[in-house]
Amino acid sequence: MAYAISDECISCGACAADCPVEAISEGDGKYVIDPEKCIDCGACAGTCPVDAPSAQ
Ligand code: SF4
Ligand code: SF4
């Protein structure tokens, strides 16, 4: 399991700074989560201003 970022993302970068395992990077038009690295901590969901990350 991993978190994923929806199209609501406004590419602010806040989640990438808060991810403890550096699973989040800037993608094409939005930020993306590497499911191989994500440990399901939920920090990105807590910090995102538009609630784009969610557990899959
Ligand atoms: Fe990183 Fe945690 Fe978000 Fe996974 S749930 S991408 S580990 S901040
Ligand atoms: Fe996108 Fe939310 Fe991450 Fe900002 S915190 S880059 S809006 S997913």
pLDDT score, position 44: 98
Distance from C-alpha of 33 to C-alpha of 53, rounded to nearest angstrom = 9
User: CA 53, CA 37: separation in Å to the nearest integer?
Assistant: 15
What pLDDT was estimated at residue 40?
98
CA distance 29 to 1: 23
Ranges under pLDDT 50 in the chain: none
For ligand 1, mutation pick of 24, 30, 48, 54 (most atoms within 8 Å of CB): 24
- What are the beta bridge partners of residue 5? 53
Integer Cα distance of 45 and 33 in angstroms: 12
Which residue of 7, 8, 9 sits with most ligand 2 atoms within 8 Å of its CB, as the best mutation to test the pocket?
A: 9
Q: Which ligand is nearest to the CA of 52?
A: 2
Can you give the pLDDT at residue 32?
98
Distance 30 CA to ligand 1 centre (A): 15
